[in-house]
Amino acid sequence: MALTIKEVEHVALLARLSLSEDEKVKLSQQLGAILNYADTLNTIPTDNVEPLTHILSVHNVFRADEVQPSMPREEMLANAPLVEAGYYKVPKIM
């Protein structure tokens, strides 16, 4: 499937590319070769092939959530440079 220069210009416009005339000719040949290869892939019989989302089986690798007591507030705030009303105090950024 050969691409015309007009189609290459349209793709270049969508990709915000500026191409010279030589590049347009070269890209029309290269993109045409890619599309021809995709057409040959479409001819492969895949009637009895099940669609896959992953090649390997997928399983959950995360640990189970368990409720645990948190650290005491005083211990968490012990190394804070600034504390106000039991919270970290940080400088304004806006």
CA–CA separation, 83 vs 11, rounded Å? Answer: 57
Instruction: Give 82's contacts (C-beta < 8 A, 6+ positions apart).
Output: 88, 89, 90
Q: Specify burial of residue 92 (Cβ count, 10 A radius: 0-12, 13-18, 19+).
A: exposed
Structural tokens at position 46: 């895949």
Domains of the chain: 5-42 (1.10.20.60)
The pLDDT tens digits of the residues spanning 34-80 come to: 999 999 988 999 888 888 888 888 888 888 889 999 999 889 999 89
Specify the residue for token string 């191409």.
19
pLDDT at 36: 93
pTM of the model as a whole:
0.49
